[in-house]
Amino acid sequence: MTRPVITYSRNVFLPLTTVCHNRCAYCSFRTPVGEGCVLPPATALGTLHRAAALGCTEALFTFGERPELEPGFTMFLGRHGYGDILDYCQDMAKRAIDTGLLPHTNAGVLSWEELERLREVNASMGLMLETTAPVSAHRNSPGKDPAVRIEMIENAGKLRIPFTTGILIGIGETMADRKDSLTVIADLHKRYGHIQEVIIQNFCPKVGTPMADHPPVDTGEICRTIQLAKEILPRDIAVQVPPNLADIASLVPCGIDDLGGISPLTIDYVNPEHQWPEIRDLERKLGGVCLKERLCIYPRFIKKGWYPPRLKPLITRLCQVVQERSGDCAQG
């Protein structure tokens, strides 16, 4: 009997800087400019090598949005030999490739030129839409303007970049707002065909943030949002739910296709209080579900050749690796 298949990527999370120009009311990732605000290159390289040794296939690079707009940041970055954060990201992505990992970068809002620049060293990229609603949680976050984020997602489509986006639920938006956000994403994909997966990420309160006492959504509401996503999104878009933030076993029947990146090495720096589950524990917990490993670039985009030529040998090799590790999901 064929078991339902849910995919995931074995990744490593590298936050190149925690400095950010936004001031989201729910975020604990952002830190002020100062000592330690930039991940040292030697630390990043060591992490990449350990990740490769553990069998990871994806290097997730992320950092706060537009950190150069924060006074003093450029000086701290310059101590590591880089003129801007994209220089650093680009260099580390090349190092990841050399180490045997496929880069996936989520750098916040980027211009067309910046997308072109990073496209040359990434297998895929991402940006959370979060919501199209004007929520108070984003009042002090210019980069969370929905129009700005939609424009970037559209530009990624025009540039043929395999892309991840998603919505953040429970930050003050309504179910109607979620429907609107998902409809925007669906329409962009129908025009450009570039969206691999849409994350349904539930807000988790963080101690010390303005929304520390804001109630999170419950499992039933997450389920209804997953079902809404399945109704609205084209069938070739995977609906993803992070397995460390919600009761995955209860949500599988709601229509989950993917669990995103799960790291055997690094924490979830955006939600550090929520540990990644181990794959074997997940398999036991989910029972009859087949967990199937994938790369950060989905197979249909590999077939289309939507990746930089330098990645072809590595993609070919890693496709074989994940295929051998995933086994046969047809076995009951």
Domain span at residue 185 reads 5-326
Q: How far is CA 166 from each of CA 87, 215, 240, rounded to the nearest angstrom? A: 26, 21, 9
Beta bridge partners of 202: 169
Structure tokens at 289: 């579900």
Quote the number of domains for the chain.
1
pLDDT value for 3:
76
pLDDT value for 287:
85
Mean pLDDT rounded to a whole number for the chain = 96
Of the candidates 115, 127, 145, 229, the one whose C-alpha atom is nearest the C-alpha of residue 183 is: 229
Average pLDDT over residues 150-177: 98
Q: How confident is the model at residue 331 (pLDDT cuts 50, 70, 90)?
A: very low
Q: Does residue 284 carry a pLDDT above 80? A: yes
pLDDT value for 329:
62
Q: Where are the alpha helices (DSSP H) in 100-216?
A: 112-119, 146-158, 175-192
Integer Cα distance of 245 and 217 in angstroms: 11
Integer Cα distance of 164 and 162 in angstroms: 7
331 within some domain: no
67 within some domain: yes
Q: List Cβ neighbours of 330 (8 Å cut-off, separation of 6 or more).
A: 2, 3
Q: How confident is the model at residue 308 (pLDDT cuts 50, 70, 90)?
A: very high
332 within some domain: no
The predicted-structure confidence for 228-254, as pLDDT tens digits, reads as follows 999 999 999 999 999 999 999 999 999
Integer Cα distance of 244 and 261 in angstroms: 10
pLDDT value for 332:
40
The predicted-structure confidence for 59-85, as pLDDT tens digits, reads as follows 999 999 999 999 999 999 999 999 999
Amino acid at 238: A
pLDDT value for 288:
84
Q: How confident is the model at residue 39 (pLDDT cuts 50, 70, 90)?
A: very high
- Do the beta carbons of residue 90 and residue 125 sit within 8 Å? no
Residue 228 dihedral angles phi and psi, to the nearest 5°: -65, -45
108 within some domain: yes
Q: What percentage of the chain reaches a pLDDT higher than 70? A: 98
Structure tokens at 175: 């179910």
97 within some domain: yes
Integer Cα distance of 274 and 247 in angstroms: 12
Q: List, in sequence order, every beta strand (DSSP E) within 1-85.
A: 5-17, 58-63
pLDDT value for 61:
98
Q: Does residue 20 carry a pLDDT above 60? A: yes
Q: Is the pTM of this model over 0.85?
A: yes
Q: Does residue 13 carry a pLDDT above 50? A: yes
Structure tokens at 276: 């990644």
Q: Does residue 92 carry a pLDDT above 60? A: yes
245 within some domain: yes
pLDDT value for 1:
55
139 within some domain: yes
Integer Cα distance of 205 and 271 in angstroms: 9
For residue 72, what is the domain's CATH number? Answer: 3.20.20.70
61 within some domain: yes
